[in-house]
Amino acid sequence: MKYSQEQIIELKRKAIQIRANILEMIPPGKVGHLGGSSSIADVMAALYFHTMEVNPSDPKDPKRDRLIMSKGHAVLVQYACLVELGYFGREELAKVKTLEGMLQGHPDMDKTPGIEAVTGSLGQGLSVALGLALGLRLDKLPNRVYAIVGDGEQAEGQIWEAVMAAHGFKANNLTAIVDFNGLQATSTTKEIFPIENLVGKWSSFGWNVIEIDGHDMVQILDALEEAKAFTEGPSVILAHTVKGKCFPFAEGKAKYHNASMTEEEYKEAWVCIENLKREVEA
Amino acid sequence: MRTSDSLRKTYGETLVELGKDNKSIVMLEADLGNSTMSSLFGSAYPERYFQMGIAEQNMASVAAGLSLAGKIPFINSFAVFARGRAYDQIRSSVAIAKLNVKICGSSAGLSDYGDGKTHQSIDDIALMQVLPNMTVLSPCDAIETEKMTKAMVECNGPVYLRINRNDLSLVTDPKADYKIGQMTEMVKGKDVVVFATGVMVQQSIQAAKILEKEGISLRVVNVSTIKPLDVTALQSYCEGVKGIVTAEEHSIFGGLGSAVCSALSMKRLPIEVLGIQDSFGTSAENYSILLKHYGLESEDVAKKVRAVLSAN
């Protein structure tokens, strides 16, 4: 086995803590993107606590890897990672989306240490990540760039402009990760827009496609390693996920794309966290 | 060193010259490099030239990423596409983030005379100046284009440069210092001041000659930085005049005229705005036919000057 049992358990602990941090940001009555943040939480744990080079004491460290949250509405999960790494204090979590807080509703590099770009208008982050990858390559730097894109976001034409361009430029320092949770703001992706056969779509555009269960930590780590090792061009990880993962009342429901929880749901969510903690320690 | 009176060729050549020492400069092109003249840079430094294909939205966001990696990216296309097709990318990826991305809107105004309304950019100043953090430049000749291109590299932040496809007569002083934000008095006068930009500077200088014969003294000011607008300079050039005219090869909505009217709203002086009325462009045999068709000739400037004087 490439990873020790202890490493996997530690990453699972991080993923639980990330989900707990997300809850902390959206107490009952406060609207937030619970669904799309929790679906990608395991991948984010692997990236920030295993795969990526990060330096919280110097957020602009030139040696760092970059992560662009193209599905910017799920920035809560990125804040949840950054706070855990110490990019900013925990007191910021309660101030998310407030006038005095540094945590904006969508990623803003000017306001929040550790955020690398401005995203939120969907379809643009993969292109920004490509630009970063090309710039780093011009300087012969080894750093990698990761872009998290949504499955609903696949409807944006610009995604496919970037997909074609990245292949053309053989951007092998770029990895895209599709949070394939099957749901978007108002319904299933299937019902909203035909994005079927994503494997065929991306691979026919010249990308190295890796399909995984986006909640299986070993599969996630393997996929990220495989993407790194593939040098002929860019790689995409199609991560099959569950929107609202780990919160049964929210799992697979479009409603929790951007909603507020009731007092009862919020209590239930914390019970889920406690159960997960017990499971992982057992 | 400038070799012609062409704004776009001067732009391309200046970047080749600057790119020699400044390795951070990179160029992105959407398959119009022979028109925008970005191809000159591509020939000189192929490793720093990114052919992005006819995909302007991706081009603008990729430029944002290159800027995040410390580069100084210039994106190139016809003005309609560079800032219109990629508007939200410029707004979100570039302007909100205050990134050091330079946008060259080539063949601006009516200067792409044959291609017609889809290709004629008469609303680019409006779209770009409404964006916070954006600097908007509109040179009137090749001399000014060379100075502006150099200044764009020196300043940190997003800049939109609107340049004309056609050669324009040289009117600015090659020896004068230049900095972004300045406006320049081209003709001294005392009765009326015209604030002009782009090709309308030349037309206004001609208008001053027409009006001189009628005993009217016209002050002509070249406003080549639309944003940030130097309101203090604007006000000082209004001292002693009886009226104000603005002149631009752009819609009367959201361009130089709008900016000047907002800035001088407390002046209580009559203002006439000369520009393209609420309409799109059209194809024509040549550029001067279009300037005549849309009322953007020196005589049209003169008429506006007479109009503000008669309002007194």
**Which CATH number do you get for residue B250?**
3.40.50.920
Percent share of chain B, pLDDT over 70 = 100
Choosing among A68, A118, A128, which should be mutated to test the B contact, i.e. which has the most B CBs within 10 A? A128
Residue A99's contacts (CB-CB under 8 Å, 6 or more residues apart) are none
B133 and B246 in a single domain? The answer is no
Residue B218 is part of which domain span? 184-310
Alpha carbon distance, N-terminus to C-terminus of chain A? 20
- Whole-number pLDDT of residue A1: 62
Number of neighbouring beta carbons within 10 Å of residue A78: 27
Gap between the Cα atoms of A159 and A70, Å rounded:
10
Confirm whether B176 is domain-assigned: no
Confirm whether B65 is domain-assigned: yes
Largest CA distance in chain A: 53
B23 and B158 in a single domain? The answer is yes
B14 and B156 in a single domain? The answer is yes
Q: Which residues of B touch A138 (CB under 8 A)?
A: 26, 47-48, 69, 71
Class of domain A5-281: alpha beta
Gap between the Cα atoms of B105 and B12, Å rounded:
13
B53 and B126 in a single domain? The answer is yes
A and B: number of Cβ contacts within 8 A: 112
CB B216 within 8 A of CB B309: yes
Q: Which residues of B touch A67 (CB under 8 A)?
A: none
Contact A161 B58 (CB under 8 A): yes
B155 and B192 in a single domain? The answer is no
Minimum Cα–Cα distance from A67: chain B residue: B65
- Whole-number pLDDT of residue B266: 86
> Which listed residue (B17, B29, B47, B56) is catalytic?
B56
Confirm whether B174 is domain-assigned: no
Strands (E), B239-312: 243-251, 271-276
Confirm whether B294 is domain-assigned: yes
| Residue ranges, chain A, pLDDT below 70 | 1
Contact B61 A127 (CB under 8 A): yes
Percent share of chain B, pLDDT over 90 = 98
Residue B19's contacts (CB-CB under 8 Å, 6 or more residues apart) are B25, B41, B44, B45, B48
For the question of an ipTM over 0.90, the answer is yes
Does residue B312 surpass a pLDDT of 90? no
* Closest in A121, A164, A165 to B92, CB measured: A121
Largest CA distance in chain B: 61
At residue B225, what are phi and psi to the nearest 5 degrees? -105, 110
Number of neighbouring beta carbons within 10 Å of residue B60: 34
* Closest in B26, B58, B93 to A118, CB measured: B93
**B294-307: per-residue pLDDT in tens?**
999 999 999 999 99
**B191-204: per-residue pLDDT in tens?**
999 999 999 999 99
B139 and B276 in a single domain? The answer is no
CB B158 within 8 A of CB B173: no
DSSP string, chain A: --S-HHHHHHHHHHHHHHHHHHHHHS-TT--B-HHHHHHTHHHHHHIIIIIS---TTSTT-TT--EEEESSGGGHHHHHHHHHHHTSS-GGGGGGTTSTT-S--SS--TTTSTT--S---STT-HHHHHHHHHHHHHHTT----EEEEEESGGGGSHHHHHHHHHHHHTT-TTEEEEEEE-SB-SSSBHHHHS----HHHHHHHTT-EEEEEETT-HHHHHHHHHHHHH--SS-EEEEEE--TTTT-TTTTT-GGGGSB---HHHHHHHHHHHHHHHHHHH-
**B146-163: per-residue pLDDT in tens?**
999 999 999 999 999 999
Rounded average pLDDT over B22-48: 97
Gap between the Cα atoms of A160 and A180, Å rounded:
16
- Whole-number pLDDT of residue B311: 86
If you ran DSSP here, which 8-state letter would residue B245 be given? E
CB B183 within 8 A of CB B191: no
Residue B297's contacts (CB-CB under 8 Å, 6 or more residues apart) are B203, B291
- Whole-number pLDDT of residue A34: 95
B148 and B215 in a single domain? The answer is no
Number of domains within chain B: 2
Between positions 11 and 30 of A, the ones with CB within 8 A of B are none
Choosing among A65, A106, A109, A118, which should be mutated to test the B contact, i.e. which has the most B CBs within 10 A? A118
Confirm whether B173 is domain-assigned: no
Q: Which residues are bridge partners to B222 per DSSP?
A: B184, B196
Strands B135-137 and B225-227, how do they pair?
antiparallel
CB A132 within 8 A of CB A68: yes
Residue extents of the structural domains in chain A: 5-281
Question: How far out from the chain centre does Cα A40 lie?
Answer: 5
Confirm whether B167 is domain-assigned: no
Q: Which residues are bridge partners to B159 per DSSP?
A: B102, B135
Q: How close B133 gets to chain A, by Cα (Å)? A: 13
Confirm whether B132 is domain-assigned: yes
Catalytic (active site) residue B249: no
- Whole-number pLDDT of residue A2: 87
Confirm whether B168 is domain-assigned: no
**B216-266: per-residue pLDDT in tens?**
999 999 999 999 999 999 999 999 999 999 999 999 999 999 999 999 998
Residue B41's SS3 state is: helix
Choosing among A161, A164, A170, A173, which should be mutated to test the B contact, i.e. which has the most B CBs within 10 A? A161
Joined together, the tokens standing for residue A156 give 């944006």
| Mean pLDDT score of chain B | 97
